[in-house]
Structure 1
């Protein structure tokens, strides 16, 4: 595979991985007030073989092992006899920071993809002459 084709492939895998990351961050934000919800974590792994070698892919989704927040609200339907129930372990500030990082990484990979596409197009134009 040519270097330009390889860079397009690497950019495409990174775009897909960041979009999946952003999807999980969005789910975490949406469930910040859901009792018993555990934060979803996703990590990236390098693709070692195949047409996307050198790119990234997402690993399995893992649930955060951080303790759930204990909330005191005796009127809540899920409260036990002491008036407590388990909230979520999602920190909104962390999720917003992760969302911003994923967005910026996505934009950087999109720019890299566009540059490689423009270079490929320019090369084809030169070869036609």
Structure 2
């Protein structure tokens, strides 16, 4: 893997962690929302990542080397299948005909931990790009 390919890998990692941070922020922002029906209640969302190995595997199957590093791709964003919170609150203005309100299945503590993890992963990708840039600059200085 060449040094230039490392920029692609760390860049795709930063992009993926940015999506993760945005979905986590959305989950936290909607954690206290209330609805009068299950269908309209916010559900926690989480990104699904996949490494793009197809190109590398295809190239290596033919005996060659792809020269590509693994990059990260966001395959999609899925809703959590955890049950929603159903609360009896007949005096609430959003209560349904049976007196229930529905709250999202967002666990704020888990979301905060996920946000810290995504932030650290983003920082690590930045450090990898910086280290690679430094190595390239040193290599160019050696050629002078």
Taking structure 2 as the reference length, the TM-score comes to 0.82
The DSSP-based 3-state class of the residue aligned with 2:101 is strand
State the match for 2:64 in structure 1: none
Deviation of the 1:78 alpha carbon: 2.4
For residue 110 of structure 1, the aligned residue among 119, 123, 126 is 126
Whether 1:85 and 2:85 are equivalent positions in the alignment is: no
State the match for 2:90 in structure 1: 74
The separation in 1 between residues aligned to 2:68 and 2:84, in whole angstroms, is 38
For residue 50 of structure 2, the aligned residue among 36, 45, 50 is 45
State the match for 1:11 in structure 2: 10
The separation in 1 between residues aligned to 2:32 and 2:83, in whole angstroms, is 15
5+ unaligned residues in a row in structure 1: which ranges? none
Question: Which stretches of structure 1, 4 residues or longer, exceed 6 Å deviation after superposition?
Answer: none
The DSSP-based 3-state class of the residue aligned with 1:81 is coil
Cα RMSD (Å): 1.7
The separation in 2 between residues aligned to 1:39 and 1:23, in whole angstroms, is 12
Aligned length: 127
Kindly name which structure, 1 or 2, has the bigger radius of gyration based on alpha carbons.
2
The separation in 2 between residues aligned to 1:75 and 1:83, in whole angstroms, is 7
